Copies of this chain bind each other. A is one copy, B any other.
Amino acid sequence: MDKVATTLQSVNTPAILVDLDIARRNIQRFQAYADGHGLKVRPHIKTHKLPALAEMQLRAGAVGITCQKVSEAEAMVAGSLEIRDVLITYNILGREKLEHLAALARKVTLGVVADNETVIDGLSAAFAAEPAPLRVLVECNTGADRCGVPTPEAAATLAQRIAKAPGLVFGGLMTYPPANGAAAVESFMTRAKVFLEAAGIAVPVITSGGTPSMMHAAEAPVTTEYRPGTYVYNDRSLVSRGVCGWEDCALTVLATVVSVPAANRAIIDAGSKALTSDLLGLTGYGHVLTRDDIAIDQLSEEHGRLVSEGPINLKVGDKLRIVPNHACVVTNMVDAVNVIEQGEISGVWPVAARGRIV
């Protein structure tokens, strides 16, 4: 069975553990790659939602942070004086959000994205009377089929609208690419850049993201900036893609066996409220460290069901460490995480930007 460190035996479970030594190594690994290829790093903080980890990323060389929502950015900026440059990679709409955005722009260097005219017009109306213009990047669909303008021509058209809009400046091009999307990014962004430069509009930033393909970011040399998120913690989905190993997973869920009702079945006190139902294409809800023979085949909110083909060899009270399928969503479930340094718990950190959905 899993050898959970003695120091973890007394932790009230379920608990989220974050190993800072592993996180630091993960941060440094990608920063070194990016530095070697002349790429700026702007980590997405959705994975950790912790101002102190953003500071670790900035001190390693990141140029700023990425957030997904205005309230998330507010929580991060409120939590650290070192966070001075924020890109919100989201279409911001609505009076209340725009007021908060304007207030935030008075505090830090701020950028947002837009993929349609309605958003641009709203941003322009909100910033026309502000002391400084807002930087707006055009979000481009390079194949992930989520948000984003569909063609380089459409990107150029929207960029021109931003460039002409009162209160706004055109900040560049942004995409969240599909897996292995470097070639698609290179092709789309190069063409969009040509159109824009022909129209006399410079493209200061071309920013891409995504942990799975981050070590191939330089295969799209038109890119100037990269926004990895999950890389700081890693998770089962990234191990399954061959991107990292279990020893690179900084976030784990500590759980206690509460029942062993059959020879090949055990129940732990971590269910979907800790591990979440995210599958990311996988089977099962997480990996029990050192127990490759166990599958977590079913979750309810407070129960995780572990099954094994042979005897499960667990007893009530045993503690297990589980690598979740998706680290980012686990962070969002809890008010605080237990921080580990050199194998010992060194602190309990509130998850400052948890639950910031607006």
- A residues touching B (Cβ–Cβ < 8 Å)? 10, 12-15, 46, 68-69, 90-91, 93-97, 115-116, 118-119, 141, 145-150, 256, 258-262, 265, 267, 269-270, 272-274, 276-279, 298, 300-303, 305, 315-317, 328-329, 332-335, 355, 357-358
Asked whether, in the complex, the Cβ of B277 is within 8 Å of the Cβ of A115, the reply is no
Asked whether, in the complex, the Cβ of A91 is within 8 Å of the Cβ of B258, the reply is yes
Among B118, B333, B355, B358, the residue within 8 A (CB) of A316 is B118
Q: B residues within 8 A CB of A273?
A: 329, 332, 355, 357
Known: A14-B358, A261-B141. A301 touches B333 (CB 8 A): no
Q: Beyond A13-B94, A118-B317, A273-B332, list 5 extra A-B contacts (CB 8 Å).
A: A69-B302, A90-B258, A93-B258, A116-B261, A332-B333
Known: A13-B94, A93-B258. A146 touches B332 (CB 8 A): no
* Chain B residue with Cβ nearest A328: B301
Residue of A118, A272, A357 most packed against chain B (CB within 10 A): A357
Asked whether, in the complex, the Cβ of B118 is within 8 Å of the Cβ of A315, the reply is yes
A55 to chain B, nearest CB (A): 22
Can you give 22 contacting A-B residue pairs, CB < 8 Å?
Answer: A10-B95, A12-B97, A15-B358, A46-B301, A90-B302, A91-B259, A93-B317, A94-B256, A115-B261, A116-B260, A116-B316, A145-B261, A145-B262, A146-B267, A147-B258, A147-B267, A150-B261, A269-B358, A273-B357, A277-B329, A334-B355, A334-B357
Among B13, B148, B303, the residue within 8 A (CB) of A147 is B303
* Chain B residue with Cβ nearest A122: B317
Among B119, B317, B357, the residue within 8 A (CB) of A258 is B119
Among B12, B68, B303, B315, the residue within 8 A (CB) of A146 is B303
A96 to chain B, nearest CB (A): 5
CA distance A90 to B163 in the complex (A): 59
Asked whether, in the complex, the Cβ of A256 is within 8 Å of the Cβ of B93, the reply is yes
Known: A12-B96, A316-B119, A358-B13. A261 touches B148 (CB 8 A): yes
Q: B residues within 8 A CB of A279?
A: 277
Asked whether, in the complex, the Cβ of B146 is within 8 Å of the Cβ of A300, the reply is yes
Q: B residues within 8 A CB of A68?
A: 301-302
CA distance A252 to B298 in the complex (A): 26
CA distance A146 to B316 in the complex (A): 14
CA distance A315 to B118 in the complex (A): 9
Q: B residues within 8 A CB of A258?
A: 90-91, 93, 119, 147
Known: A141-B261, A277-B279. A357 touches B94 (CB 8 A): no
